[in-house]
A and B are shown apart, each in its own frame.
Chain A
Amino acid sequence: TVWIRFILIQNRAGKTRLAKWYMQFDDDEKQKLIEEVHAVVTVRDAKHTNFVEFRNFKIIYRRYAGLYFCICVDVTDNNLAYLEGIHNFVEVLNEYFHNVCELDLVFNFYKVYTVVDEMFLAGEIRETSQTKVLKQLLMLQSLE
């Protein structure tokens, strides 16, 4: 079966802003993957596709300002569904942080994990409705 192997948010300089792993990797392996993804993705320009083969998998990615949002999935998986999955996620972040910028993800890293878990869990898409996700996030925000 197919599922998301990891989600990475990196900036152009290669700094990781979020790394969510859905497969067991040891720390060295994670570091290597992060570097490889950065190397593969940043050399591509706007005329290229949003997909790139990566080891035995593929990376579906999209660039927003200085940030690359990357999802690693099986080669047989649906490229466009994940590409829009990324966009859906970014729109939620944007709404939640009121015009999200890179620093929001740095200072609120622990909240970003909550957003991810609402939308993706166990490497699968959990919830796609922006309304439902945001309602839930606002509810959690109101809790002590």
Chain B
Amino acid sequence: MPAVSKGDGMRGLAVFISDIRNCKSKEAEIKRINKELANIRSKFKGDKALDGYSKKKYVCKLLFIFLLGHDIDFGHMEAVNLLSSNKYTEKQIGYLFISVLVNSNSELIRLINNAIKNDLSSRNPTFMCLALHCIANVGSREMAEAFAGEIPRILVAGDTMDSVKQSAALCLLRLYKASPDLVLMGEWTSRVVHLLNDQHMGVVTAAISLITCLSSKNPDEFKTCVSLAVSRLSRIVSSASTDLQDYTYYFVPAPWLSCKLLRLLQCYPPPEDGAVKGRLVECLETILNKAQEPPKSKKVQHSNAKNAILFEAISLIIHYDSEPNLLVRACNQLGQFLQHRETNLRYLALESMCTLASSEFSHEAVKTHIETVINALKTERDVSVRQRAADLLYAMCDRSNAKQIVAEMLSYLETADYSIREEMVLKVAILAEKYAVDYSWYVDTILNLIRIAGDYVSEEVWYRVIQIVINRDDVQGYAAKTVFEALQAPACHENMVKVGGYILGEFGNLIAGDPRSSPLVQFNLLHSKFHLCSVPTRALLLSAYIKFINLFPETKATIQEVLRSDSQIRNSDVELQQRAVEYLKLSSIASTDVLATVLEEMPPFPERESSILAKLKKKKGPGAVTVELEDGKERGELNGGGDRGGDAAIAASNASTPSPSADLLGLRSTAPVSGTTPSAGSLLVDVFSEAGPSATSAGVNDDGFLSSAPPTVASEDPAPPLPESDELLNKFVCKNNGVLFENQLLQIGIKSEYRQNLGRMYLFYGNKTSVQFVSFNTTVSCPGELQSQLNVQTKTVEPLVEGGAQVQQVINIECLTDFIDAPLLNIKFRYGGALQNISLKLPVTINKFFQPTEMAAADFFQRWKQLSQPQQEAQKIFKASHGMDTEVLKAKLLGLGTALLENVDPNPENYVCAGVIQTKAQQVGCLLRLEPNAQAQMYRLTLRSSKDTVSQRVCDLLAEQF
């Protein structure tokens, strides 16, 4: 028992701890503990008043028992009594017990708060610190209510001891995090910021955490901290390694404080004041220079402390992303670390370079390290380092090096750890698609992926290759040939069979001319895999077979025989049996024409965001771009195989034939134009002349009417938004891609992605007619106050859109602050001479800037309580306008952009979500709760956020979704 000899210990406690350690079994331990509990209970209940020492000892024993993992249901009162002792050791044990064990027992909290209050006003720095530490450790709302007013006073008072200031600053930080509404800095702001100038480095170290937290929430209010932080940093960075004495750590001056200062600066853009900025750049250069100096010590502590500052400085340089010189220097420095013998440094360099790769200034510099990174991927022992290397390769990939990187990633996959294979597969698939110059390379890559890591190729990946092959006719023949060859392997992955079945079913005819891959050879090859496959794959193969009958009549007899066999037509699986029966029937009764129509080649898939990209984002979780809503459509079409493909083809061909009556119905703005039809009778003319803005009523004759045509002139101004534009907007609240608008002439598709407070939207204007659109012009405007809330930039589009063609327009959106209205999109063009003028609302809604936030139940409810002011909450109770299907609800909530928190709400029927809305001005945390009532077909939706307008807007938007 080494500790007992050490002075002031409580002998009884040490003996008890020894006893416990000597217990040979769990039972013996429990027995010993129960004996002790009985003993303590009797002492506490006994007639004899206990002295302070005994009370302390017993409370400490109880604490020890609790920390062993046993429940403690008494002793709280004795612990509270210890708080009012005037002996430090007794007080300390009392506070410790409370910090570790207390729950929000209101009775006790009142007593505790009372004791804390006494200690805070005791003017005894030791007692004050104990009390402050207790508040900082417990941090309950009751404590915030009691002390949030008092602590700032202690923090800035001239006569407060330094150590008390340190504790007060962090205590206040804890209360601010827990109950921001109760901590009002107002009058203290400037004095708190000036703590950055305090002589005592410990005070600065503690205060800066508080200032950083407050700055990130209210940057404007605290912006004076920037120049103070820069000058403090400058003093530290330029000091000699021994100047700061107590705060020098292994010859590095104040490493932790330096890191905190650099982190505080990351709450702000680069300083506007030239002198401040100059000084800061000088600091950053000095830090980079020091990295090149010979080390002052061989100890790892020295280099770690030095590099902690360096990495933080590089984070700031990346945050500014405006100093090309510093960015490139940072990159070179990290490049040296890539080959360092310390694994930690190699890891951190890979991680940090990943963010440098996305800066236009340093992207090229990062690329020069490709060989080192590839080597890291091959040779690092720690899987997390290899993972970072893979991330970096992905980040540095562009057209110039895509083939090399994809090849390296593919070869790495053969030996990659199971834990990262799926993500690697997704990355390879995305890069292959993104940088495919020739699609045969793309097809080869994906088939290789399936060959090497078939188990990890998710559905999204093989759906995607099929989408691309179907949409690009230049690669179809090659794809058919390649899958045919791949299927020759005696053992090939089931995913290969799926892709093979699908592609040969669609495009097997393209290779059927070669006798080595004649229709019957193709069929036999596919069918040789059939019996080893799972039910869904077999279903897909059956669809391929019926397509074969259509493509190659000569296979009909063979295939019908297969379909007719007992193992198909009497298969115990309903889906397989049904397909066999239906396909057999279809092939026997349908005429060649009907068969050809039903089994027509799949129509091209609509262009949409790559489903694998969405999947990768989803895997990456919070921090990545908004989670994409799977709309399930492609899955359905693909799984269904040929049978549903036929329907789709028919639907598509109907839709693309414009009916002659189109213009009259489709466009609002064409309505007045259609009034110019000369056949209109005089009565009609009268009606129009009243409605129209000009004096056509004067011209009773048809000629005058035609020549003046005032409605057309008036419609040169952007038309008012279509009445249905709000509804169209609502359609996109929970999804980012789809068709925004369609009439008989024009289709507008949308694809959008959001990251932080930035968004990019691609609009696709498709001319559905065979006639060109001229003077095609689109504008995006932000009406009213939206102008100051959103920054929207567009590029102009070509004024000519050929018949059947599609043009694309990119819109960049920056959210400056929260907003309610949507930007307006106006499209004008002439079709056969008539002016078309359409206005729509662009589906940019505040929820697009959500970042999902995962949190545990306790955390959720704590935050929920913190947002309890009436104006922070918005609530709606409304009737369900769609079915209340769980999966659909979940998908919508995810589509909203928040994180859907499982196992948080005690009622499993309810949904709770959390997210942070990122705007340039601020971040607004949002919590959401949706309570469905299936019986009444009603919902109650509650939103809480730190900003009233946000709660209301999100609530309004979401209420329209169910």
Task: Give me the interface of A with B, judged by CB distance under 8 Å.
Answer: 1, 3, 16, 19, 23-26, 29, 31, 44, 47-53, 56, 75, 78-81, 83-85, 87-88, 97, 101, 103-104, 106-110, 113-114, 117, 121-132, 136, 139-141, 143-144
Contact = CB atoms under 8 A, between A and B. Distances in A.
A47 B247 CA distance: 31
A44 B622 CA distance: 26
A124 B206 contact: yes
B163 A136 contact: yes
A79 B2 contact: no
Interface stretch (B43-51, B855-863, B875-883): B855-863
Contact of A47 (B8, B259, B382): B382
A84 B255 contact: yes
B77 interface: no
Shortest Cβ-Cβ A-B pairs, 3 listed: A107-B3, A80-B308, A143-B88
B385 A49 contact: yes
Contacts of B87: 143-144
Contacts of A113: 96, 99
Contacts of B622: 56
A49 B1 CA distance: 35
Main SS of the interface on chain A? mixed
A101 B1 CA distance: 12
A103 B3 contact: yes
14 contacts: A49-B347, A52-B384, A56-B854, A80-B307, A80-B308, A83-B304, A84-B308, A97-B6, A107-B1, A107-B4, A125-B205, A128-B202, A128-B247, A136-B163
Nearest to B383: A48
Contact of A126 (B89, B166, B212, B385): B166
A50 B344 contact: yes
Interface of B: 1-4, 6-9, 14, 17, 21, 60, 63-64, 67, 69, 87-89, 92-93, 96, 99, 126, 133, 136-137, 139, 163, 166-167, 170-171, 173-174, 177, 201-202, 205-206, 209, 212-213, 216, 245-247, 249, 254-257, 259-260, 263, 301, 304-305, 307-308, 311-312, 343-344, 347-348, 381-382, 384-385, 621-623, 854, 856, 858-859, 862
Given A25-B858, A132-B202, 16 more contacts: A19-B67, A24-B859, A56-B854, A78-B312, A79-B308, A80-B307, A81-B256, A83-B304, A84-B308, A87-B304, A104-B2, A121-B166, A126-B170, A129-B201, A129-B202, A139-B126
A132 B246 contact: yes
B247 A121 contact: no
Contacts of A125: 205-206, 209, 256, 260
A126 B344 contact: no
Contacts of B201: 129
A84 B304 contact: yes
A121 B3 contact: no
A126 B256 contact: no
A78 B205 contact: no
A23 B857 CA distance: 12
B311 A84 contact: no
Nearest to A127: B202
A121 to B, nearest CB: 4
B792 to A, nearest CB: 29
A85 B216 CA distance: 24
A23 B859 contact: yes
B173 A124 contact: yes
B343 A126 contact: no
Contacts of B254: 128
B206 A126 contact: yes
Given A83-B344, A101-B2, A126-B206, A121 B170 contact: yes
B98 to A, nearest CB: 12
Contacts of B344: 49-51, 79-80, 83
Nearest to B7: A141
B167 A126 contact: yes
A87 B301 contact: yes
Nearest to B136: A122
A80 to B, nearest CB: 4
A75 B347 CA distance: 14
A107 to B, nearest CB: 3
B92 A110 contact: yes
Contacts of A128: 202, 205, 247, 249, 254-257
A117 to B, nearest CB: 5
B457 to A, nearest CB: 24
Nearest to A80: B308
B263 to A, nearest CB: 7
B347 A85 contact: no
B88 A144 contact: yes
A97 B7 CA distance: 11
Nearest to A20: B137
Contacts of B623: 75
B384 A51 contact: yes
Contact of A78 (B171, B246, B259): B259
Contacts of B209: 3, 122, 124-125
B216 A1 contact: yes
Nearest to B53: A144
A103 B511 CA distance: 77
A95 to B, nearest CB: 14
Q: Which of B6, B63, B216 has the most CB of A within 10 A?
A: B6
A10 B513 CA distance: 70
Contacts of A110: 60, 63, 92-93, 96
A88 B137 CA distance: 22
B82 to A, nearest CB: 12
A84 B307 CA distance: 11
A78 B246 CA distance: 22
Given A78-B308, A121-B133, A132-B246, A24 B858 contact: yes
